[in-house]
Structure 1
Amino acid sequence: MRNYTFRPLTEADLPLMRRWLQTAHVKVWWPDADKQIALMERDMDSAAIDMRVVSLIDHPFAYIHDHDARAFEMPQYADLPFGARVMATFVGDSDFMGQGHSVGYIEGYIRSLRLKYPMVAVAPGTTDTRTITIYKQAGFMNRRLTTTAEGRLVQVMTHL
């Protein structure tokens, strides 16, 4: 197991986030970099969401965040139990793709979340088979297919 670190996202990280959000492999699922940066800036000091930069040996390579399932009125999570957390992530540095890092850091992050919360959920797009496979390898199980407020079909997955 590798020693991944998860430090809070700061304003100094926003240029890195913008660079990552503009890469082709991230844009597929996080398409509007300006919107995402604006949301990060708005929520950076909010207790409602925990945003983190993932590093390995002091090299940042991914972004991850989690929040209460009911914090942002996302209908795909409406059936989750009280106290459930929702997580989203992406690998920004393409040099870290295809080497098992995604499963590794997600498992590490989930371990810490599960000490405090009864359930963690994710909702990748149904056509994102790579991400669904990564989440399954990290211990998530399919819960149900549903749509987001924007009408996108997603596979809600939970880690119990």
Structure 2
Amino acid sequence: MTDYGFRPVTAADLTLLAEWLEQPHVRRWWSEPEEALVSIGEHLRDPLVEPYIVMLDGRDFAFIQVADLDGEDDAALDGQPQGTCGIDQFIGIETLLGKGHGPAFMADFCRKLFKKGKNRVLVDPHPDNIFAIRAYTKAGFQRLGETNTNYGRALLMALDRQENDRL
């Protein structure tokens, strides 16, 4: 079994994240690298968003962040159960794409969130991002439908605590 680790992002990680955000496979689906980096940096002081570096056998290779969505001001998220959070992530090292790491580390991360008491994890990939949708499906996420969020078009997908029991 592959060993994934999650460590909180620190200011020292911003240089690495800047490199990853410039990669074409990341840049295609994330905002402009400079904007994304500023946003991640702001999250270092935001109690509602927790950014992490994902490690593969001790080596930094991906990014994931979790946001508490209880009370989120986005009509597209209305009706979500209490204890809902959202995750965003990317693999920074292109040679590690397509090897099953995305679904595996997301499932591992979601198990940790459920153990902390979260009831639902949402993701909101762009409907054209077939690779992300496939990865989320492999991680156990179910489609809720297309919508327009505060960030644009999205396919809302959810993983609920009871569904996670099979992971």
How far off its partner does 1:72 sit?
5.0
Residue 127 of structure 2 corresponds to 126
- The answer to whether the 8 A contact 2:84-2:122 is kept is yes
- What CA distance in whole angstroms lies between the structure 2 residues aligned with 1:35 and 1:13? 16
Q: Secondary structure at the match of 1:143?
A: strand
Is structure 2 residue 108 aligned with structure 1 residue 108?
yes
Write the letter of the residue equivalent to 1:100: G
Write the letter of the residue equivalent to 1:18: A
- What CA distance in whole angstroms lies between the structure 2 residues aligned with 1:60 and 1:40? 17
Instruction: Give matches, 1:79-158, under 5 Å.
Output: 79-115=79-115, 116-150=117-151, 152-158=152-158
How far off its partner does 1:73 sit?
2.6
Runs of 4+ aligned residues of structure 1 deviating over 4 Å after TM superposition are none
Structure 2 residues not aligned, in runs of 5+? 161-167
- The answer to whether the 8 A contact 2:2-2:57 is kept is no
RMSD: 1.3
Q: Secondary structure at the match of 2:126?
A: coil
TM-score, with structure 2 as normaliser: 0.90
TM-score, with structure 1 as normaliser: 0.94
Aligned residues: 159
Q: Deviations over 1:127-153 (max 9, x none)?
A: 011110100000000012101224x22
Residue 61 of structure 2 corresponds to 61
